[in-house]
């Protein structure tokens, strides 16, 4: 039986129902609902039903009011928390020092300021002073540190450092000290390498016929040419008088006179330092475009009648070659020409002409001094105000491939020119392992594993040292990942019994993340290498003569090292990796031929006659 609960005490007086306290009714209803009690009303009349509806309505209004009040409390709480968090964030932000809004200058502009204030006679070819970033932390070199400090103070931008951050200063000092220690260690390795007996093997005196050029004997004044070493514009060239005395000759002429049958320059050449210094600092009096080739090259002339081959910067040092580009579509890199010279010297070849980096003023040192009308017509200003030019050549001479300064300063490599063809003719040889330069066809050596057998029967590879000379070039190309070796040259005077010129290395060092094993195909197929080359490669794999470390030390002496290292650390690491691959290839060759008595020795002993 249901339990009845009366909401009003007096049932007899129905008129009094509306006068019952609504608050009491509501509380009683809520209490009953919460207690789970089922409320049943007596059967009322129509007025009772109206009263019940009124009570229900009031209860709903009361519940709505309670919900609104709770929602308001929650919203106010959230608003308070939000305001508190904003104030806390503002306090934290204000407590942190603000960084300057000015962006640092690009590397080229930094180098221009440093180059104009630094000593122009920095050592290049020998073991000179440490680079700029090392001198800042070297307490033993007070003069160099003061000079660098003065140069840095002249830079028109603020250094991004935290104000009052002692920890950052300590870290910077420690980093500079580590750089100094590393540089000193690398330089000691480079010096020890060049002092090693493998780089100082005794050699007999050079025979008269093994010199490329000779100084003519004295001639009568009546037989002298009045036009010898004279120019139409005498005011831009030095008034020089050269004779057989070495001291009277400019560095570039001493370089030409020092070329022999076996090398471009001797291991310890006292002329190397003044020669590279001239390339880096000497005044440029003329600039004309060099004919031939697929990309822009200029010939720069100096007041002492010396000349250099100019290759401009076309991409950043750490920028890798696009994987979708073929090797013959790649850009030539100025830093590759410089690095190739240093690597060639470290390998003990000395067959790459000396090359150095230089910051050139596009207007004053090219546009204003050029007599090449075709070149002069290609100068223009870019939308951001940089001076650009593109010259005329087969493929990459257009406004889309223009060379631009920042706004006038341009990085470039300058390599000393070889003697003129009229004085020392050169012969060009097609490489037996030349690539097809086709997007769909392969060369014969890529499909025939016995290709070298036929090469060994073909002159000039059938006798003499031509094959091992070519393998030397292959090792150099593999270490620097140069796929564009379609020809090589020799001096015609020496016939087939001479060294190979390692020219045109601009497409090297394009990719450090991938090695190209096809470059080593001649070594794998022929299994032939010089003993001196093999021993030097093994020497460079040792920790005390590590190839990456000595290469880093050698490149740090170039003027463009002030802008940034000429080879990034990934490229230096790739040198070590590729050197290991070369040594493993030679070891496999030795393993293959150890049980073959009729086969030729893998190692060609060129040191047998050296005492």
Active-site amino acid positions = 484
How far apart CA 226 and CA 223 sit, in angstroms, is 9
The CA distance from 396 to 413, in Å, is: 18
Tokens at 268, concatenated: 């310890």
Beta carbons within 8 Å of 4's beta carbon, 6+ residues apart:
40, 41, 42
CA distance to 135, 184, 222, 362, per residue, from 141 (Å): 7, 13, 56, 35
Give the H/E segment covering residue 230: none
Whether 331 contacts 314, CB under 8 Å: yes
Is residue 557 helix, strand or coil? Answer: coil
> What gap in Å lies between CA 502 and CA 485, rounded to an integer?
9
CA distance 581 to 598: 27
Exposed/middle/buried for residue 397 (C-beta within 10 Å: 0-12, 13-18, 19+)? buried
DSSP 211: B
Report the C-alpha gap between 536 and 237 in whole angstroms. 43
d(CA 104, CA 189): 35
The residue count for the chain: 611
**Which long-range contacts (C-beta less than 8 Å, at least 24 apart) are formed by 100-107?**
100/158, 100/160, 102/157, 102/158, 103/157, 104/157, 104/160, 105/155, 105/156, 105/157, 106/406, 107/563, 107/564
**Chain-centroid distance, C-alpha 502:** 22
Q: Which residues of 512-526 are buried (b: 16+ CB within 10 A; e: fewer)?
A: beebeeebbbbbbbb
Pick from 298, 359, 311, 360: nearest CA to 339: 311
- Torsion angle (degrees, nearest 10) of CA 331, 337, 338, 344: 140
Beta strands in 194-320 (DSSP E): 286-289, 298-301, 307-312
Cβ–Cβ under 8 Å, residues 596 and 527: no
Long-range contacts of 369-372 (CB under 8 A, 24+ apart): 369/284, 369/285, 369/286, 369/287, 370/286, 370/287, 370/288, 371/286, 371/288, 372/287, 372/288, 372/289
Q: What DSSP line would sit under 436-493, residue for residue?
A: ---SS---GGGT-TTHHHHHHTSTTTTSTTHHHHHHHHHHHHHHTT-----EEEEEGG
């Amino acid at each position: 039986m249901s339990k009845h609960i009366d909401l009003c005490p007096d049932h007899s007086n129905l008129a009094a129902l509306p006068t019952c306290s609504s608050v009491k009714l509501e509380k009683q209803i809520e209490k009953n609902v919460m207690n789970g009690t089922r409320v049943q009303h007596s059967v009322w009349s129509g007025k009772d039903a109206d009263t019940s509806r009124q009570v229900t309505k009031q209860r709903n209004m009361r519940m709505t009011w309670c919900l609104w009040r709770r929602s308001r409390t929650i919203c106010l709480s959230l608003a308070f928390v939000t305001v508190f968090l904003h104030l806390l964030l503002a306090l934290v932000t204000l407590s942190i020092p603000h960084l300057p809004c000015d962006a640092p200058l690009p590397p080229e502009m930094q180098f221009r300021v440093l180059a104009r204030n630094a000593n122009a006679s920095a050592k290049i070819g020998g073991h000179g002073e440490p680079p700029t970033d090392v001198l800042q932390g070297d307490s033993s070199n007070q003069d160099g540190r003061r000079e660098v400090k003065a140069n840095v103070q002249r830079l028109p931008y603020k250094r991004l450092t935290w104000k009052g951050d002692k920890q950052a200063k300590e870290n910077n000092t420690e980093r500079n000290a580590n750089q100094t220690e590393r540089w000193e260690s690398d330089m000691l390795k480079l010096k020890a390498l060049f002092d090693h007996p493998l780089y100082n093997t005794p050699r007999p005196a050079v025979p008269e016929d093994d010199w490329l050029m000779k100084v003519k004997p004295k001639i009568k004044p009546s037989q002298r040419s009045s036009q010898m070493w004279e120019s139409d514009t005498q005011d831009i060239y030095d008034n020089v008088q050269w004779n057989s005395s070495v001291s009277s000759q400019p560095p570039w002429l001493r370089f030409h006179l020092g070329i022999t049958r076996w090398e471009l320059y001797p291991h310890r050449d006292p002329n190397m330092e003044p020669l590279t210094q001239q390339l880096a600092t000497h005044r440029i009096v003329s600039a004309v475009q060099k004919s031939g080739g697929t990309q822009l090259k200029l010939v720069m002339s100096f007041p002492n009648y010396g000349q250099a081959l100019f290759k401009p910067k076309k991409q950043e040092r750490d920028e890798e070659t696009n994987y979708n580009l073929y090797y013959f579509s790649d850009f030539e890199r100025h830093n590759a020409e410089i690095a190739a010279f240093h690597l060639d010297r470290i390998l003990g070849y000395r067959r790459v002409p000396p090359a150095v980096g230089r910051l050139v003023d596009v207007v004053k040192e090219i546009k204003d001094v050029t007599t090449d009308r075709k070149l002069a017509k290609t100068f223009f200003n870019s939308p951001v105000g940089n001076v650009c030019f593109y010259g005329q050549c087969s493929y990459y001479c257009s406004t889309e491939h223009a060379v631009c300064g920042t706004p006038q300063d341009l990085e470039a490599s300058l390599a000393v020119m070889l003697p003129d063809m009229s004085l020392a003719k050169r012969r060009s040889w097609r490489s037996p392992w030349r690539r097809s330069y086709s997007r769909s066809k392969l060369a014969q050596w890529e499909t025939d594993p016995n290709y070298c057998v036929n090469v060994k029967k073909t002159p000039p590879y059938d006798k003499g040292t031509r094959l091992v000379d070519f393998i030397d070039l292959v090792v150099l190309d593999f270490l620097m990942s140069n796929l564009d070796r379609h020809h090589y040259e020799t001096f015609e005077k020496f016939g087939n019994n001479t060294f190979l010129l390692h020219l045109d290395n601009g497409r090297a060092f394009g990719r450090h993340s991938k090695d190209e094993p096809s470059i080593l195909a001649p070594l794998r197929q022929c299994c032939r290498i010089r003993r001196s080359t093999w021993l030097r490669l093994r020497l460079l794999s040792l920790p005390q003569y590590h190839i990456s470390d000595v290469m880093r030390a050698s490149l740090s002496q170039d003027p463009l090292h002030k802008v940034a290292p000429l080879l990034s650390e990934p490229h230096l690491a790739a040198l070590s990796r590729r050197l290991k691959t070369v040594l493993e290839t030679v070891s496999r060759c030795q393993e293959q031929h150890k049980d073959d008595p009729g086969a030729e020795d893998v190692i060609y002993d060129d040191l047998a006659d050296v005492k």
